[in-house]
């Protein structure tokens, strides 16, 4: 059985966010006008950063024996 931890889920989440961001940027390069694109890309970047901080801190807590 495959064991999926928070680190695996983070990379899956980050991959999905990168695909969404690439689609938005690609559509803008083709000439489509997406008004909310800068805000959406900023929100995606901030969510990735927040999730990364949680995953890194959880990994540190488990490594030092302070968490489960």
pLDDT digits (tens, 9 = 90+) for 46-64: 999 998 898 888 877 877 7
| CA of residue 24 relative to chain centroid, distance | 15
48, 17 contact by CB (below 8 A): yes
For the chain, the domains span 6-64
Tokens of 50: 């927040």
Neighbours of 61 (CB within 10 A): 12
Tens digits of residue pLDDT in 5-48: 777 888 889 899 999 999 999 999 999 998 999 999 999 999 99
Q: Among 58, 54, 28, 57, which Cα is nearest to 40's?
A: 28
Q: How far apart are CA 66 and CA 68, in angstroms?
A: 7
Rg (CA), the chain: 16
């Amino acid at each position: 059985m495959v064991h999926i931890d928070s680190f695996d889920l983070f990379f899956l989440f980050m991959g999905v966010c990168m695909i969404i961001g690439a689609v938005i940027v690609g559509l803008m390069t083709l000439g489509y006008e997406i008004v909310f694109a800068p805000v959406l890309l900023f929100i995606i970047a901030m969510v990735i950063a927040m999730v990364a901080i949680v995953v890194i801190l959880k990994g540190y807590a488990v490594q030092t024996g302070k968490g489960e």
